[in-house]
Amino acid sequence: KQEVTQIPAALSVPEGENLVLNCSFTDSAIYNLQWFRQDPGKGLTSLLLIQSSQREQTSGRLNASLDKSSGRSTLYIAASQPGDSATYLCAVVGTASGYALNFGKGTSLLVTP
């Protein structure tokens, strides 16, 4: 069964710092990997989607990379802002999972002014 791990579980940084969130998965047979943002008690907002054939995707200050062979993805946030404070979730869709999303438990990010 696909296992998705996110490190670190929590992170606190001062405003303006560049930061990297890590995601690893055990089965490299995936269709895609998706990064989400979740504010406390709220829904999931899709940030970036990387297909299995792609190496990275960018949106504004966010850049996500994918190394399928090693089972790793990173989410890079440039010039962090207090508004970036949220939980970031990584999820993969495996080819043997009935197109189910397998989620990591998330990284809780706090950006302090």
Partner 1 sequence: EAQVTQNPRYLITVTGKKLTVTCSQNMNHEYMSWYRQDPGLGLRQIYYSMNVEVTDKGDVPEGYKVSRKEKRNFPLILESPSPNQTSLYFCASSPASVNGYTFGSGTRLTVV
CA gap 8, 86 in Å, rounded: 14
Which positions from 38 to 77 touch partner 1 by CB under 8 A, shown as an x/- string?
A: ---xxxxxx--x-xx-------------------------
Size of residue set near partner 1 by CB under 8 A:
24
Between vectors from CA 88 to CA 61 and to CA 15, what angle results, nearest 5°?
A: 50
Strand partners, 72: 24, 67
Smallest gap from residue 32 Cβ to partner 1 (A): 5
Q: How many CA atoms lie within 13 A of 32 on its CB side?
A: 10
In the bound state with partner 1, the residue whose beta carbon lies nearer, of 76 and 103, is 103
Smallest gap from residue 69 Cβ to partner 1 (A): 18
Those residues with Cβ within 8 angstroms of residue 7's Cβ, 6 or more apart along the chain or in another chain: 22, 24, 107
In the bound state with partner 1, the residue whose beta carbon lies nearer, of 18 and 51, is 51
* 28 is an interface residue for partner 1 by CB under 8 A: no
In the bound state with partner 1, the residue whose beta carbon lies nearer, of 80 and 88, is 88
